Structure 1
């Protein structure tokens, strides 16, 4: 170790080359790292979905869900089975152990489900699929402008066009439309017309089935060419369906569907509707896959919203929520903390040592992060909330080793040694203590590296960031820092004389007084009463342990933090009508705007504090309740930065 340090001190070009490589490669790696709101983890979830139109939750549970659970319960590789039975559908969620490839478990589950012969005949075929790893990117809403009378069907057509445009962008592939029921072709027959022409409903159904379809008629071959015969009559155009002939008379006249029925395109009678600030809306949610980048998705969406609104004056597309904004706010916090840390290190070390030395010590923060970015990019770590948390956590620790080594090098220089000798001796003297100090922190975070394949897998990203940053910080402190502090431009005899005059003289006297008159006697007293001193932390530990077990200190996986939006969910008894759900949601929305008016007046604001209120019927509690009895409100406040109120208080 000593020879290695001496080599770096003797040839500082090595340190300069390392710095040049880390800066260039680190910046490139940082620019190429993808962004995500949460870490992308390997999916271990398999879903079994069955649709049974008209079935109640009890019927779904007894006739479908319980049989699915029985079929897969004994399969290997399954850790936990959860099921949800709601009106018309059942979902069984299987969490695998991770010990076997998920595709193998998926095939076993499919085979087990295919072997069930006792499902209700009216139930649709079970759909078995593995859940892809994805995370939220943004939410958009499409509404009609105040001066237009565009209906929901037209909004849906606009939404489908937006969906196609976003999918063709090349930066996103997971786009979902919601806020409207399933479109259908409605053939509404008049009873008097049926009696007039003596036609039954079955005849109409048979006419549509036989005529509205694509049929292959084979092919005709000759020596010169081949002709494929195909009848393409399948259509979703109400006019074409209305022209289908039901019956022909002997005089050559025809009875068409439009003669006895009204054919129109409309929404199915299911409860799936949404409103934005009281207007009909189509909701567009975008998710990202591990290979996609959150920043690219958001930038494209922002540009698309501007272009779409310019080209379509009758409708308005709004970006209601973006996960990138929250991520960037945490990134700004990291940058702010880093700048404050650098400034404080430079100021404090400049007071007691010298400015150039403090600059090289503070360089340990960017060096460690840039080197960490290189490694993190190589193994696929993204910039997300968890990795940013790790950076914020470790930023205050990175310069500790550099400060200790730099101060000790300066101490040896004060004793009369040359800068090169002081750099080597000062580093080697504290090498064991610094290594042990940083290694204990690395060891403390190392167990988080073993959490892959568990529910805590996302903490792997934080552990990588912390461990890698501390490791590169050690490398910089042991080799790069001494190489630069060994320069006579950094350790100058003149700097020793400056400590005896000016403001540095008073700082030096203050530290000496603190050491000799305060710390010295406090240490003697503590050693004299060492048994009592040792008992204090033990007693505090026992008290804390008792408060924790007694429930006085609460625990949670994530702390409660302020948020940028919040949700109100409501669900009545399955089977209750849509009217009741909408009345309650309308009342809730009315209260939201009343609170908005009160806060605007109380805080003397020039604009509403509530930006958007999205209301929907058909689902609530993250999809656990589905049907006309369920609904929710999503409330989006404006940016609360600089306003004396939090999301919790709202």
Structure 2
């Protein structure tokens, strides 16, 4: 018993099987996370090492070069890039695509453990960062406040960051760019010498008096209580009263030899919103979390959190990646739906049989929906690559069903077979032909599944979804199509009795006859002039090859996402204060150029909040410029605006290099 015979003679089993697949596929569809692109883990590691108080030259000579020499022998290492800035060494390692990064990280960690013996005292333990697309911010916000700027960072951490961290799918919420509180102890060297006290003694005394000591537990009845002795400093006055030692029989307190100041830490980064000092709230999702779901949850909670902030604090969403994802996926989904409708319409226009068209209408979505079950089982996401594969496959899946259906109809009308017999014999007769046709198409897309590098990561989903969809369409054509045809397709298929539809059918039949006759004439002419035909085709082919070099290339097409980002680099060794002044000049120019075409401008000067985990060099001479643009109908395209800003930024004194990005 072959497959068509099984499905026709065992309709209940076949129906239950397909219903089960449909239900599972629909459940999988609603559980699939949404994202712009497949998860990409770049084959790169970043080693960040802090050497507090050291200048760029010392960092390079005493830290960076030592680390480079030790990690340079790690297997599969392709390239090393390093940046040495004040207080920090950043070494970026790029490996061959396909390298096991967990294993590479272990090898690097072993080499760093060995390198510690050569590093000077005072160097912090090197940290290894792995970069993947899940580290990119789902959303970031900017906040400014005149009266409360000094405690803005702490306000945002307590009132915004901590509640947001409780949202399912949130990986991390960072507050950066503002001022962080720091208690400064400015020791007077003369008094230190006069009282005969050493600096080490001061440090040890502060450490000894700033403790939280556990004191065991106590049982009272059926309850147990854990005890602790709080001995931590609560305010600067307590720190000033810390006993350091004795001098000539009298106690020496910290206030006698030093000034204790409630101040702010020296910033490694300065953020500004419309040239006003600001803090940034950066939200990252957990790997595998649904970007759109996380962003929606944040936006739902945000209004209630903002009400907790003082009235002078202005918190605004600058970037929301879910907006672009929803727009792109919605546009692509609409294209897929329209494509499916046109396939059904064209099929009906050529068949003009309602029941026969119903078979096609039922089999197309079943062939496509199985791809969502495959995506779920493989741990993939719904993104532009997976939806593009469905859009490509939608025109292919109908081929097998039409061939099978046409042959079933032929067996009914020309061979006078009954519905069941025609369904079995008609599908079985073309089974080998459509299998061969399907597998030749599958072979075309199969190499994408095994491609390496970034192309392989991006196009693996596209190739695998198309392959699964085509194989599903083959299975549907030889099982479900005969089953439906045996129940729906009759020898005398009813036609819709509409006058305009009858006229359209006559026009279509006339058009098809005209095309058949025209094609016959072209074939006769080509066969009578074979040599000329081959020469003409060859010339057209060669001309087409020659025109390839005039076609531009790009990795992804530019898309106007309403967001401009640029990296501006000042000369090396430019201090952060000077870079901040340059950032203010850039913002002023951008405000004049963009005018009402923008919603907000944010600039960040100095160290990246990601600690150099990306592929860009970071340091006190780097400015990150970001502009959220107004609606498309109120402005020029982001590409045009970027070109104008680029020309202006290059003319600003102190700007060394400008790199713009749009469509992100």
Instruction: Tell me the TM-score normalized by structure 2.
Output: 0.82
1:302, distance to aligned residue in structure 2 (A): 0.9
Task: Summarize the Cα distance change of 1:229–1:391 in structure 2 as closer, same or farther, 3 Å threshold.
Answer: closer
2:506 corresponds in structure 1 to 505
Gaps of 5+ in 2: 219-223, 642-664
Task: Summarize the Cα distance change of 1:431–1:241 in structure 2 as closer, same or farther, 3 Å threshold.
Answer: same
1:490, distance to aligned residue in structure 2 (A): 5.5
1:344, distance to aligned residue in structure 2 (A): 1.7
2:66 corresponds in structure 1 to 67
1:37–1:137 contact (8 Å) kept in structure 2: no
Task: Summarize the Cα distance change of 1:536–1:242 in structure 2 as closer, same or farther, 3 Å threshold.
Answer: farther
Separation in 2, partners of 1:433, 1:639: 53
Cα-to-partner distance string for 1:49-68 (whole Å, 9 max, x where unaligned): 22223444444344333332
1:211–1:244 contact (8 Å) kept in structure 2: no
2:440 corresponds in structure 1 to 440
1:40–1:134 contact (8 Å) kept in structure 2: yes
1:4, distance to aligned residue in structure 2 (A): 1.8
Pick the aligned partner of 1:263 from 238, 260, 267. 260
Separation in 2, partners of 1:396, 1:152: 61
1:308 corresponds in structure 2 to 305
SS in 2 for 1:311: coil
2:566–2:625 contact (8 Å) kept in structure 1: yes
Cα-to-partner distance string for 1:285-334 (whole Å, 9 max, x where unaligned): 22233342223311221112121123335234333222222222222123
1:370, distance to aligned residue in structure 2 (A): 1.6
Separation in 1, partners of 2:368, 2:283: 31
Separation in 1, partners of 2:204, 2:58: 34
Task: Summarize the Cα distance change of 1:545–1:26 in structure 2 as closer, same or farther, 3 Å threshold.
Answer: same
Cα-to-partner distance string for 1:383-413 (whole Å, 9 max, x where unaligned): 1233233233333333233334334444444
1:613–1:635 contact (8 Å) kept in structure 2: yes
2:629 corresponds in structure 1 to 637
1:321 corresponds in structure 2 to 319
Task: Summarize the Cα distance change of 1:241–1:389 in structure 2 as closer, same or farther, 3 Å threshold.
Answer: farther
1:618–1:631 contact (8 Å) kept in structure 2: yes
1:139–1:286 contact (8 Å) kept in structure 2: yes
The correspondence of residues 235-250 of structure 1 with structure 2, limited to 5 A, is 235=233, 237-246=235-244
Cα-to-partner distance string for 1:562-591 (whole Å, 9 max, x where unaligned): 333121221112222344423332233233
2:377 corresponds in structure 1 to 378
1:213 corresponds in structure 2 to 210
Is 1:647–2:638 an aligned residue pair?
A: yes
Task: Summarize the Cα distance change of 1:390–1:76 in structure 2 as closer, same or farther, 3 Å threshold.
Answer: same
The correspondence of residues 154-553 of structure 1 with structure 2, limited to 5 A, is 154-180=152-178, 183-188=181-186, 194=191, 202=199, 205-206=202-203, 208-214=205-211, 232-235=230-233, 237-246=235-244, 256-258=253-255, 262-314=259-311, 315-353=313-351, 354-415=353-414, 417=416, 418-451=418-451, 456-488=456-488, 492-495=492-495, 501-516=502-517, 518-546=518-546, 548=548, 552-553=550-551
Is 1:628–2:581 an aligned residue pair?
A: no
1:87, distance to aligned residue in structure 2 (A): 3.5
The correspondence of residues 136-147 of structure 1 with structure 2, limited to 5 A, is 136-144=136-144
Cα-to-partner distance string for 1:106-139 (whole Å, 9 max, x where unaligned): 3332222222333334433333455577343522
The correspondence of residues 73-152 of structure 1 with structure 2, limited to 5 A, is 73-96=72-95, 102-116=101-115, 117-128=117-128, 130=130, 134-144=134-144, 149-152=147-150
Give aligned pairs, total: 627
1:12, distance to aligned residue in structure 2 (A): 3.6
1:77–1:98 contact (8 Å) kept in structure 2: no
Task: Summarize the Cα distance change of 1:446–1:32 in structure 2 as closer, same or farther, 3 Å threshold.
Answer: same
Task: Summarize the Cα distance change of 1:184–1:202 in structure 2 as closer, same or farther, 3 Å threshold.
Answer: same
Instruction: Tell me the TM-score normalized by structure 1.
Output: 0.84
2:175–2:282 contact (8 Å) kept in structure 1: yes
Separation in 2, partners of 1:437, 1:595: 58
2:169–2:286 contact (8 Å) kept in structure 1: no
Cα-to-partner distance string for 1:491-516 (whole Å, 9 max, x where unaligned): 53444999995432232122112212
Structure 1 stretch 449-458 or stretch 610-619: which is displaced more?
A: 449-458
Cα-to-partner distance string for 1:458-506 (whole Å, 9 max, x where unaligned): 3222222221122212222222122212225565344499999543223
1:394–1:469 contact (8 Å) kept in structure 2: yes
1:46–1:93 contact (8 Å) kept in structure 2: yes
Task: Summarize the Cα distance change of 1:87–1:137 in structure 2 as closer, same or farther, 3 Å threshold.
Answer: closer
